Chain A
């Protein structure tokens, strides 16, 4: 992305048009969508403009802005999906914290559709990948649950005041009951047009139909745990547990590929309800189970298709291999409890497979799947010992597909390295076996051999020879071996120690190509950042760095925009002594040599800005401003605390002050140490806090 003038102009015009958007105007939303579609080259700038508009605009204008976002991602898709997805959590939660309940329910409604494919689209993947939507769902559940718990006793009178939702009818959450409450089984009134089950195309229409963004949108209800086969998942914690049953042949309702992952909802469609009551606190898990159910059904469809293909070409070995791999995948899914991340990775892979041109599925009596045979296939290379690490390319492949969705030639299932750049690395935690798995009835196929076979069947991107052969070869990698494998976690830097490095500074030694070492500059470093190409490992540390890095990109844009109006200048160089003492902090830190940063006063001020308290539930207390400056507090969703908080706030006795005001007012009296304010645990989200501090600064300057 270059920050060329045209792009700035597009973004500025876009922002100007947004600023006028005060209602759900079909015309304007449609216009903005068209602009976004015609200027995908400026997608980043446009996305940032919209994000910052959502952040900054008054609560009353936030919903229309979200409709614009919604319309763009559904009608244009990539690259907007990627750009919005990156900060979706904060975009969503920060707005959610500020809007009224009516808007909140609309937002929840919208979020729900983001977990679905675009209505009417051939593409069966959700609008946003689960990695993006799930954290938001979880935060919402958490917010709601804690709210409900806090208010269980004194509810009735307050619920209308607070309006956040009704209390739970009993303290027993739904998830404890083997079946959801009966009323959810009731078929819905079919009369409501535009509310047909299974999200027909009209419900989230393209902008031309934007008037159907209804004020009385149906509440989110798809989180009901209705497994496709009517079986109950025994517990939440383990998601899909072994049933002890043989693999279930596809039942009739699945013989036709469901148009989207949630087709089973047709049986248990929505029913207008108070949105919060309708969503049991277990929503987050339910969504995992949703995915799992959908995934199982997808796999079955693929199995059926492969069988059909195979039966037509019985001598074609590749179909057989593919089929076998699918069966094994199915077995793994049914016999193991996989972390949600891995499920979504598999899901992405499967979604890609589904996309591949297939012959029409043939309905036939399903055969019992072959028993999983733990065939020892290609031994996995030493660098990829775990399922999670091997699934790496799957995630990338899926993202490749995501990118390809927009391109003119959608048939890019054989991913060229090009398309494999992902804006965010898939979450691949180090694979750990589930702590207490019921011994599986069937032997679990070795994931490595499974994936080996998936690869052999062309279902996973091939491993570049570069990663699997640690010995030097004279050949150099070509386009055919995409060098984008993730490797298992390594230390912050990639020590070549793990790769034989025999290069010495001698002419002969320097002439020998060493593709295996070259991999240390590419695939071994993880997936690249879409904006600057820097690669990040997929391990925990890499993910943290990546998150901080993306935040950094975002805040840079923000700060540059802010600074544009103020006038900027080059700084003086630092002097020798300061320079010798300065340290480059992991990449992104702008080195500050302002000595005031180091004074204890500056530190104290900064520290007080980071203080927060849980936002008071008591509405009267919540409306009282800071006694010192008479300003209101800033409410914010704090991920680490998993609750809504007031930033820069502290409780002293019965009163709540801005921590900074209080510190300032009492700075000569050393009373701070005794205050019971929680120490912020913000290390992880430092970048965001800096952003917060920055906003606060801007605010005070304005």
Chain B
């Protein structure tokens, strides 16, 4: 609308907004097509839906709202067609062939199970997503989560893949109830901070595994999974909204491809009472799972429904470099926030002698049979009391170490435990938070650490894992 006369006043404007000279493109997407894009780490694009409907991994995008994506490989799908305006450079293309019909139908099938569960006063489906690395498991988990949220559900999302964090830094395993929209710009969103967030924060329960693959130390991985399942199941049974919705469980790709994988899958299936398994991409895995689970009954006597879904062509291989950069970004975000919210971590100097640090031993395999007996759940943390048959631990899971220069730029997990607790108790404890070792001063025998808040941490054991790897310096 032009107002006569007003135009001349324009030069007098007190200032002009900085205008970024970034390329702008408008894409017309047909119904049922997907716009896939990759933004390099350190780069960003702005995306605006001009018309139509669009969603990112199941979360609907608001029209005319500016979304910013940084260092991410992602895609925007439209069921009805849309026009999108993209500012900035990225690699991109549009795909017409997607498994979205299958995926959305999977959601509707789950909805049906949820309705049935609610009618019978039972728990909603516990859905396990398996498939090889880069098959799109996390994207499917996110999609199913987002769809169920849109229907007013409250799913519990479980991440058993330590390679990537979910609302936490890599190395952790988490359970998170979702009751509000997923933050499409920031992966899954943010855990609580001292301020408000434009997308509601999520509240994860966090455990620390500290290694990239479950097979690096099954003896540590399995009890943590057991503990995670115990806590999530307790919450699920207490919390009606979650109970009616159920769980969606993401898994590491490696357990779907390695030899020892099935053992870990069946451990997760058993601990979480999984009754629905979605197998992405791998026909071999699907038939193997069908064979092994055909006679399986969950702890509640249910059979397991298994279905194979197609892999999305949009799944991209994430190479080591990308993973490393992503990890670093996740650590940075944990301490310093994101483009929207700047966080100021607390810096603290702690003497060597004031700290109890456990280093995770690697390469320990649990040789004995997997724990499938549900009665073990409640005493899982008391493994050491188990009668013979289970390997005795002549050396602990953790090695007590003194701070040393190799800790520089590493992450330590602060555990909800005391320095007097046994190693098993520490293993089973959930994580209070993480500190980053900014500097190790050998001469003065002290560490400078970043921690989210100024709380004292010397009364708690810290766990030092090898995942995530040491980051570049976050400070100075």
Q: Which A positions have Cβ atoms within 8 angstroms of B?
A: 1-4, 6, 9-10, 13, 17, 27, 30-31, 33-35, 37-39, 41-42, 75-77, 79, 121, 206-209, 403, 405-406, 416-419, 421, 476-479, 482-483, 492-497, 501, 503-507, 509-514, 517-518, 520-522, 525, 528-535, 553, 555-557, 559-560, 563-564, 567-576, 579-591
Contacts and interface: CB of A to CB of B under 8 A. Distances in A.
Interface residues of B, number: 110
Given A573-B204, A580-B205, A587-B179, 18 more contacts: A31-B9, A31-B14, A33-B6, A35-B13, A75-B3, A208-B8, A406-B1, A503-B109, A530-B63, A560-B196, A560-B341, A569-B345, A572-B433, A576-B231, A579-B205, A584-B179, A590-B192, A590-B196
A570 B452 contact: yes
A580 B235 contact: yes
B151 A520 contact: yes
A573 B191 CA distance: 8
For the complex of A and B, 4 pairs with smallest distance between CB atoms? A418-B51, A493-B152, A584-B179, A563-B195
B195 A493 contact: no
The winner among A4, A419, A518, A576 for most chain B CB atoms within 10 A is A576
A641 to B, nearest CB: 28
A568 B65 contact: no
B62 A496 contact: no
A483 B81 CA distance: 11
Contacts of A582: 203
Interface in B435-476: 452-453, 455
B179 A570 contact: no
A681 to B, nearest CB: 26
Contacts of B115: 495-497
A586 B179 contact: yes
B161 to A, nearest CB: 18
A507 B307 contact: yes
Contacts of A580: 205, 231, 234-235, 238
24 contacts: A9-B17, A30-B6, A30-B9, A33-B6, A206-B3, A208-B8, A416-B51, A416-B52, A477-B79, A478-B31, A494-B151, A496-B108, A510-B101, A517-B108, A521-B151, A522-B79, A528-B62, A531-B198, A534-B181, A535-B150, A568-B194, A568-B195, A569-B344, A572-B455
Nearest to B431: A573
Contacts of A588: 180, 200
A4 B80 contact: no
Interface string B192-214: 11111111110111100000000
A216 B205 CA distance: 63
Contact of B340 (A2, A30, A33, A208): A2
A416 B61 CA distance: 16
Nearest to B67: A2
Contacts of B68: 2, 4
Interface of B: 1, 3-6, 8-10, 12-18, 20, 31-32, 46, 49-53, 59-68, 79-83, 101-102, 104-106, 108-109, 111-112, 115, 147, 150-154, 168, 175, 177-181, 185, 191-201, 203-206, 231, 234-235, 238-239, 241, 276, 305, 307-309, 334-335, 337, 339-346, 414, 416, 429-433, 452-453, 455
A34 B105 contact: no
A573 B433 contact: yes
A4 B63 CA distance: 18
B305 A493 contact: no
Nearest to A567: B344
A568 B203 contact: no
A628 B470 CA distance: 58
Contacts of B14: 13, 17, 31, 35
A663 to B, nearest CB: 27
A27 B65 contact: no
Residue among A41, A209, A493 with the highest chain B CB neighbour number at 10 A: A493
B339 A4 contact: yes
B109 A533 contact: no
A582 B67 CA distance: 31
Residue of A17, A209, A525, A568 most packed against chain B (CB within 10 A) = A568
A228 B416 CA distance: 74
Contacts of A572: 414, 432-433, 452-453, 455
Contacts of A563: 194-196
Contact of B203 (A13, A557, A591): A591
Contacts of B344: 567-569
Nearest to B417: A575
A281 B150 CA distance: 44
B337 A568 contact: yes
A503 B108 contact: yes
A34 B11 CA distance: 9
B307 A506 contact: yes
A505 B151 contact: no
B152 A590 contact: no
B81 A496 contact: no
A588 B194 CA distance: 15
Contacts of B179: 584-587
Given A2-B340, A588-B200, A590-B196, A38 B105 contact: no
Given A533-B61, A588-B200, A496 B111 contact: yes
A169 B103 CA distance: 70
Nearest to B102: A510
Contacts of A584: 154, 177-180, 203, 241
A498 to B, nearest CB: 11
Given A208-B9, A572-B452, A579 B231 contact: yes
A477 B231 CA distance: 43
A361 B82 CA distance: 37
Nearest to B230: A576
Given A582-B203, A591-B203, A570 B150 contact: no
Given A31-B14, A512-B105, A587-B179, A532 B199 contact: yes
Contacts of A77: 1
A514 B108 contact: yes
A559 B152 contact: no
Given A503-B105, A505-B307, A572-B433, A121 B194 contact: no
A530 B81 CA distance: 18
Contact of A207 (B6, B32, B414): B6
A649 to B, nearest CB: 28
A531 B238 CA distance: 33
Contacts of B154: 584
Find the residue from A77, A583, A588 having the highest chain B CB count within 10 A: A583
A570 B50 contact: no
B418 to A, nearest CB: 12
Given A79-B64, A418-B51, A535-B60, A568 B342 contact: yes
